[in-house]
Amino acid sequence: MDANTLSENIGKFGVLSILQSPLRVNVKILNAREMWGRVDFLVSPVEGTGTQWVAATRVHIGLWPEKQ
């Protein structure tokens, strides 16, 4: 994946899957990087605070959970 492809995701919103949990968090992608052949996104929750680098495979871009 090249730098242009990575940068296309910055600013998009998605849903972060929490490992081994049914919990999902709406996030905004703040940055992207490729390390050791893996793509990571720096994400921040839509509501709440903080940032975290996570594997891009855990972020489903453009998907929002249904309101219950």
The tokens for 28 are 């905004």
Domain of 16 in residue numbering reads as 3-61
The model carries a pTM of 0.83
User: Has residue 64 got a pLDDT over 50?
Assistant: yes
pLDDT of residue 44: 97
Tell me, yes or no, whether 51 lies in a domain: yes
CATH code for position 41: 2.30.30.140
Contacts with 23 (C-beta within 8 Å, 6 or more apart), sequence order:
none
- With cut-offs at 50, 70 and 90, classify the pLDDT of residue 7: confident
Report how far Cα 64 is from the mean position of its chain's Cα atoms: 12
Tell me, yes or no, whether 68 lies in a domain: no
Tell me, yes or no, whether 8 lies in a domain: yes
Euclidean distance between CA atoms 49 and 6, whole angstroms: 24
